[in-house]
Amino acid sequence: MSIYEESTNPKLGRSKMNLEVIKLGDGWKHYHLKNEKGMEVSILNYGGIITRLLAPDRHGQLENIVLGYKDLKDYKSDSNFFGALIGRVAGRIEKSSFQWEGKNYLLEANDGANHLHGGSQGFHQVLWNAEPFQTSKSVGLVLSQRFLAEQDGYPGNLTVRITYSLTNDNQLVIDYQAKSDQTTPLTLTNHSYFNLSGRLKRTVHNHVVTMKSERYVELDEQLIPTGKILNAEQSSFDFRRGRKLKEGISSEDKQNLIAGGGYDHYFIFQEAEEEVIVVTEKESGRRLTIHTDQPGVVMYSGNQMSDELELSEGSSKKHLGVCFETQASPASLHHEGFPSVELKADQPYAKQTIFTFDTF
């Protein structure tokens, strides 16, 4: 059934929402979700990867605003984590090890001496069980999987359930749920690269970001937290009143230079804030608003992206997309005072991030 056709559900009546599933071989399936306003999201059961997201500009023109590969099989060897689910622990773990309840755990070193985004066989490389759904207000996909204790170096048998919901209010809601039979580190996120210009027409230099954060985490030369939390005031890291990304990309601030010209830093949110991040792109008129119950976000401005990748709308280049990885901080495994990644045994993990798309 084509996503461009109206569908009829006996319980819902006639609806312009639609869902299409394409089988790709090797167990891969590509799910295309469409809401009543025409917004579309495409997701692979492999890695839970968001491959495409069509959102309107101020003239109603629907265009893709996330980075993804032209050839879907390139996701198998993707070092950029385009659109992927990240776990068990999003971010870098120093020296690929941590001590937990008196035991030392060694993880795969897949980023120099450090462990990045759950390792080379993290959630982004998993073939997830997938179940599509449709309600009167949304169309979506539930992904689930079970991970055995220490198969990836982490303690605890872990069950995970991720729900993507595309609503008729042009919201993409991601609900993360998990439970472990042992206390374990866990913080999950999605690694989509956004470019609100549409079809990668421009880099993200002139994207304006407003963020409710006055503190960010200092990094060393290996992009590992030093243990210091810095005050963002009067720096290129202060987004409370809005700032173009190019100000950090071109900044001579040591922290911007360490990141490769831009941002790859964890920002700690101010408490009791609901609307924590707003991103705008003036020429298209698109606006992205992010709400989350996570304590912070890694904002990554695509500083390490090479220029030889074949993407769905052209070749890759530095600063072609910006990620907002809502999560807790893996620095809490080695330092005090950081948002904790601890999930206690048999306690539910439940986090939500909502991406709202509109125009101004």
> pLDDT digit string (tens) for 246-259?
999 999 999 999 99
Evaluate whether residue 146 is within a structural domain.
yes
Paired with 264 in beta bridges are 300
Residue 200 reports pLDDT greater than 70: yes
pLDDT at 199 exceeding the cut of 60: yes
In a domain, 40, yes or no: yes
Report the distance separating Cα 246 and Cα 257, nearest Å. 13
Is residue 143 a part of any domain in this protein?
yes
Q: Which of 32, 115, 117, 191 is catalytic?
A: 191
Q: Which domain holds residue 128?
A: 7-359
Is residue 117 flagged as an active site residue?
no
Residue 323 domain flag = yes
Q: Which of 6-15, 41-50, 193-202 has the lowest mean pLDDT?
A: 6-15
pLDDT bucket at 16, cuts 50 / 70 / 90? confident
**Does residue 175 belong to any structural domain of this protein?**
yes
The pLDDT of 105-128, averaged and rounded, is 98
Query: pTM for the full model?
Result: 0.95
**Overall average pLDDT of the 46-65 stretch:** 98
**Block residue for tokens 């210009």:** 197
Q: What is the CATH number of the domain that holds 212?
A: 2.70.98.10
Q: What is the percentage of the chain residues whose pLDDT exceeds 70? A: 95
* 297-325 tens-digit pLDDT: 999 999 999 999 999 999 999 999 999 99
The tens digit of pLDDT for each residue in 30-42 reads 999 999 999 999 9
Give me the number of domains the chain comprises: 1
Active site residue 191: yes
Inside any domain, residue 1: no
- The angle formed by the CA atoms of residues 106, 107 and 113, to the nearest 5 degrees, is 100
- The pLDDT, as a whole number, for residue 15 is 61
Average pLDDT (56-80) is: 98
Of 20, 40, 63, 325, the catalytic one is 325
Percent of the chain with pLDDT over 90: 93
Residue 272 has what pLDDT? 66
Q: What is the mean pLDDT of residues 122-151?
A: 97
Residue 26: CB partners within 8 Å, gap ≥ 6?
none
3 state SS for the chain? CCCCCCEEECCCEEECCEEEEEEEECCEEEEEEECCCCCEEEEECECCCEEEEEEECCCCCEEECECCECCHHHHHHCCCCCCCEECCECCEEHHHEEEECCEEEECCCCECCEEECCCCCCHHHCECEEEEEECCCEEEEEEEEEECCCCCCCCCCEEEEEEEEEECCCEEEEEEEEEECCCEECECEECCEECCCCCCCCCCCCCEEEECEEEEEEECCCCCEEEEEEECCCCCCCCCCCEECHHHHCCCCHHHHHCCCCCEEEEEECCCCCEEEEEEECCCCEEEEEEECCCEEEEECCCCCCCCCEECCEECCCCCCEEEEEECCHHHHCCCCCCCCEECCCCCEEEEEEEEEEEC
**Does 2 map to a domain?**
no
